[in-house]
Chains A and B, each alone.
Chain A
Amino acid sequence: MSTVAAIVERCQALFDDLDFSAARAWKAAEPGRIVVGFMPFYVPRELIHAAGGLALGVLGGGDQLEVIQGDAYYQSYICRIPRSTIELGVTGRLDFVDAMLFPSICDVIRNLSGMWKIMFPKVASRYVDVPQNFSDSVGGSFYVSELGELRDILARLAGRPITDDALRHSIAVYNENRALVRQVYALRSREPWKAPSAEVYLLMRAGMVLPVEEHSAMLADYLEAAANQERPRRDNSRVVVTGAFCEQPPLNLIKSIELAGCYIVDDDFMLVNRWERSDVSTEGDPLAALSHAYLHDSLETAAKYQPDQSKKGQWLIDAVQRSGAEGVIFASASFCDPALLERPMLQKALAARSIPYIAFKFAENSGQMQPIREQAGTFADSIKLWSAA
């Protein structure tokens, strides 16, 4: 059995590797393999898997990538992730990627999908539209048809058909992965000292670059190793971090929050790993099953419309209650329209239930952590004072 340290070390190496060597090696290992990149937050990875491909999460350049050319494509008032993604593209780091998928999350990523078509014309690129209407006969039939088109594109790319059986098998593989992901989050929320957030983060990031089967094995190993490892329990406050569903915070930011006295017991980094809340059906038409899960059993985020006003923000309240959190930290990327426009509505829902919160912004390459550490530290202290009162 691997130790926690060994697993985390592997994840850290994958995280630091801006050349995606592991994914390159995977592709090179067998002729005809395809790699399909996708941006946050959600794409139906099962389709890529069923095409025999590797779904590669492209989550920006973090704080280690020097963005030189990417900056020339964006005005100062646009977030970081599109420019670092362009940097990854123009510096050849994604030259082994056969297709790029751009989820329907905001106007920046939407427009980036078109930029990709112009800048990398040899790469198949597709904007993955998802319905904002959640009835099966309306939004569902649209989505099934979109999934069908994507299936055709991927099949052409892979040079083989994607059968229903293959797709049902891929759904089962991802169901297993999501179940393990949920277990890791549950462990962290139960005993956060045993699964520190920086570790959980790296573990989830590994899922962006590894084949899903390998990632599932890693998650299982981690669960076992972490449960058996004694670690000191601190008197930290328990918080949910929200707003970072696209551009990722620097790893140091996550560490800083915990060092400042907060256990992160839930977050929205990399929603794709647990987008569907329970198993997707492996019976019947697999596209209908994926669509049904999207419409009726998926997580909420700012990019998704909530048709029922009385439920606005309820998912965050639920996350707080489920994880036993004492407060919420809104950490949004600067200039992130969806997160920042959503924030006042979520804050209102929290205030109505007297759940304390703080808010700050970050960029994926933020270097200076002192202010965040101070803010999070003060928040942790105030939660304690507040709960003692």
Chain B
Amino acid sequence: MTAIPISAPAKSQPAIKDGSMLKQKEMISGNYAKLENAAAEGRKVVSTFVPGNLNELIMCFDVLNNLPEINAIQNGMRKKTGGYIMEAEKRGHSEDVCTYVKADLGMIEKGNIGPDGQKLPDPNLLLLSYTGCFTFMKWFELLRDHYGCETTMLHVPYQGDGNITPTMIAYVVRQLREEVIPKLERVSGVKFDIDRLRENLARSARAEEDFVWVLNSAKARPSPIDAYFGGVYYIGPIFTAFRGTADAVEYYRLLREEIAERLARGQGPVTPSGDMGPERYRLVVEGPPNWTSFRDFWKMFHEEGAVVVASTYTKVGGIYDLGFRHDPARPLESLAEYCLGCYTNRNLPSRIDIIERYMNEFEADGFLINSIKSCNSFSAGQLLMLREIERRTGKPAAFVESDLVDPRYFSPANIKNRLESYFQMVEQRRAGAAARAA
């Protein structure tokens, strides 16, 4: 799981030609261009993961941010990952493990050519913010094995009992102070300035406010957004190298304006085929999408008039709609709370509570899980989730299986069949409920 298509290839992009989309494209290509020129311009590069990323802190050291998951997603959408995964498996990586890791390692083995066709720079520092998934730690060790560069790890405790304790915050803050910041200072040669961090955090909070407004717009009927397929574009800047930048503030301002207009006009979401037809089903979706057939997958929904009104995947890099904001008044504590609060760092009962809340607040007709073979962090326990949500809400739930970036595990016919029967089931339930009410 854990990342977003900050820029899809042109043909896969939804047909939004709005200012926000152009802005995002510009931001992403700008970041890749910076990464490609890093060596020539003497800029240092930090590789780090999406959930629990410390972008506001990283920015304080004038270093660039490279996110392996994003590269895997981008390559997945460009259908390059199948080959990379095979390459990694040929080199001894098990077929059983997370394909993000293999897509990344395969890409590195084949010359480390990034999604836009240019060579990615070797990192000067590996910064592991270890949140919500054990695989990150192994992935990070595998990268360290390859690059042999400086490393630093931020261990974020798990919310085993469903809450954040002062001990957890103190532990994370102490690691930031004693390990992460000194390492960033050393690698970058820039001294840490907490006021700079505060400014970045203030910008994050502004963007987060608009982002949450956009997510909540899906409470309207029809929903002006698709909070899963469309949502993965909306999370791009805030989950990655842009949180805390003026660009991100501007992006979310533009996005909010655009969605507000759609809302005012009573329009539904934009899809790759243009405006979606009438809204027939409102769904909550758990789990990451498949990237190698992202467009086909989405089509199976929008062609049926199914709109996703809330999704958990758009919370892997931070949950903002439950109230959290980065707080310049408590800079390090606030970073700690952010890391601790990412979706898969919450225990299963909390995850189920969040989904139940979405089901109710967004008036969903049903719940769907896209179970990802790669991702134990998301997937282990989803069948219990399914039962619980059905039991608590009385709404029909369904389950499809695919993978993130391994095309071998995307079976369109199977998924389509399942979805069609599911939509029929939703219809029948609705008819039953209407008959009972009459």
Q: Which residues of A contact B (CB under 8 A)?
A: 72-75, 77-78, 82, 102, 104-108, 110-115, 117-119, 126-129, 131-133, 135, 137-139, 141-142, 145-146, 149, 302-303, 305-307, 309, 312, 332, 334-338, 340-345, 347-348, 361
Q: Within the assembled complex, what's the spacing in Å between the Cα atoms of A312 and B141?
A: 9
- Bound: A54/B326 CA distance, A: 45
B319 within 8 A of A: no
Question: In the assembled complex, which residues on chain A have CB atoms less than 8 Å from the CB atom of B153?
Answer: 132-133, 305, 307
Known: A127-B158, A133-B175. A75 touches B371 (CB 8 A): yes
B98 close to A78 (CB less than 8 A): no
Measured CB to CB, the nearest residue on chain A to B155 is A132
Evaluate contact between A343 and B380: CB separation under 8 angstroms: no
Once bound together, how far apart are the Cα atoms of A27 and B137, in whole Å? 40
In the bound complex, residues from chain A placing their C-beta under 8 Å from that of B384 are 73, 115, 118-119
Find chain B residues with CB under 8 A from A112 CB.
Answer: 380-381
Query: Contact between A138 and B178 (Cβ–Cβ < 8 Å)?
Result: yes
How far is it, in angstroms, between the C-alpha of A95 and the C-alpha of B175 when the chains are bound? 41
- What separation, in Å, do the CA atoms of A340 and B137 have in the docked complex? 13
Given contacts A77-B379, A127-B347, 11 further A-B contacts (CB under 8 A): A77-B96, A107-B135, A107-B344, A135-B178, A138-B175, A141-B174, A305-B155, A337-B138, A341-B93, A345-B142, A345-B145
Shortest CB–CB separation between residue A136 and chain B, in angstroms? 11
Across the interface, which residues of B come within 8 angstroms of A118, CB to CB?
A: 348-349, 352, 384, 388
Interface residues of B in 58-73 (CB under 8 A from A): none
**Do B134 and A115 touch across chains, with their CB atoms under 8 A apart?**
no
> CB-defined interface of B137-174 with A at 8 Å, one 1/0 digit per residue?
11101101100100101010110110000011011001
Is B376's CB under 8 angstroms from A107's CB?
yes
A-contact 0/1 string along B95-135, CB 8 Å cutoff: 01110010000000000000000000000000000100111
The answer to whether A74 touches B380 (Cβ under 8 A) is yes
A/B interface sample: 14 pairs, CB < 8 A: A82-B380, A102-B160, A112-B380, A114-B349, A118-B384, A129-B160, A133-B175, A138-B175, A142-B170, A145-B167, A343-B94, A344-B91, A347-B92, A361-B94
Chain B neighbourhood of A82, CB < 8 A: 380
State the CA gap A72–B383 with chains docked (Å): 7
Contact in complex: A113, B347 (CB < 8 Å): yes
A142–B171 touching, CB < 8 Å: yes
Q: Which of A126, A138, A305 contacts B137 (CB 8 A)?
A: A305
Interface assignment of B401: CB less than 8 Å from any CB of chain A: yes
B137 touches A132 (CB 8 A): yes
Say whether B262 faces chain A, with CB atoms less than 8 Å apart.
no
Cβ contact within 8 Å between B352 and A341:
no
Interface string of B353-375 (1 = CB under 8 A from A): 00000000000000000010100
Using Cβ atoms and an 8 Å threshold, which residues of chain B touch A104? 158
Given the complex, which residues of A lie within 8 Å of B348, measured CB to CB? 111, 113-115, 117-118
Are B178 and A131 in contact (CB-based, < 8 A)? no
Q: Which residue of B lies closest to A303 (CB)?
A: B134
CB-CB contacts of B382-415 with A at 8 A, as 1s and 0s? 1110001000000000000100000000000000
> Nearest 3 CB-CB pairs, A to B?
A114-B348, A127-B160, A341-B138
Q: Residue on B with the closest CB to A304?
A: B137
Residues on B lying within 8 angstroms of A by beta carbon are 91-94, 96-98, 101, 130, 133-135, 137-139, 141-142, 144-145, 148, 151, 153, 155, 157-158, 160-161, 167-168, 170-171, 174-175, 178-179, 344, 347-352, 371, 373, 376-377, 379-384, 388, 401
B409 closest partner in A (C-beta)? A77
Q: How far is the CA of A145 from the CA of B168 in the complex (A)?
A: 9
Whether B101 lies near A341 (C-beta < 8 A) is yes
Q: Quick one: given A129-B157, A137-B178, are A338 and B381 in contact (CB under 8 Å)?
A: no
Determine the residue in chain A with the shortest Cβ distance to B105: A344
Contact of A146 among B93, B167, B373, B377 (CB under 8 A): B167
Residue from B92, B155, B167, B175 in contact with A344 in the complex, judged by beta carbons closer than 8 Å: B92
CA distance A107 to B130 in the complex (A): 12
Query: What is the bound-complex CA distance between A149 and B138, given in angstroms?
Result: 29
**In whole angstroms, how far apart are the Cα atoms of A312 and B92 in the complex?**
18
Chain A residues with CB under 8 Å of B377's CB are 107, 111
In contact, B349 and A117 (Cβ under 8 angstroms): yes
- Distance between Cα atoms of A74 and B91 in the complex (Å): 29
A34–B328 Cα gap in the complex (Å)? Answer: 47
CB contact under 8 A between A348 and B174, given known A118-B349, A337-B138: no
A107, A128, A345 — most chain B CB neighbours (10 Å): A107
Task: Provide the bound-state CA to CA distance between A340 and B134, in Å.
Answer: 12
Report B87 CB to chain A, min CB distance, Å. Answer: 13
CB B214 to nearest CB in A, in angstroms, measures 30
* Cβ–Cβ < 8 Å partners of A312 in chain B: 141, 145
Task: For B96, list chain A residues within 8 Å (CB).
Answer: 77, 334-337, 340, 361
When chains A and B are docked, how far (Å) is the Cα of A202 from the Cα of B96? 29
Q: Which residues on B sit within 8 Å (CB–CB) of A141?
A: 170-171, 174
Instruction: Give the complex CA separation of A118 and B382 in angstroms.
Output: 13
Minimum distance in angstroms from B375 CB to a CB of chain A: 8
Chain A residue contacts of B157, Cβ below 8 A = 129, 142
Rounded to whole Å, the gap between the CB of A383 and the closest CB of chain B is 20
**Complex: A90 Cα to B348 Cα, angstroms:** 18
Known: A118-B384, A341-B138. A139 touches B155 (CB 8 A): yes
Cα A297 to Cα B96 in complex, Å, equals 32
- Tell me the nearest residue of chain B to A131, going by C-beta: B155
Q: How far is the CA of A295 from the CA of B373 in the complex (A)?
A: 33
- Taking the nearest CB of chain A, how far is it from the CB of B372, in angstroms? 9
From B151, B161, B388, name the one whose CB has the most chain A CB atoms within 10 angstroms: B161
Inter-chain contact B371/A142, CB cutoff 8 Å? no
Q: Which residues of chain A are within 8 angstroms of B139 by Cβ–Cβ distance?
A: 341
Contacts of A345 in B (CB 8 A): 141-142, 145
The answer to whether residues A309 and B148 also contact, given A113-B160, A338-B134 and a CB cut-off of 8 A, is: yes
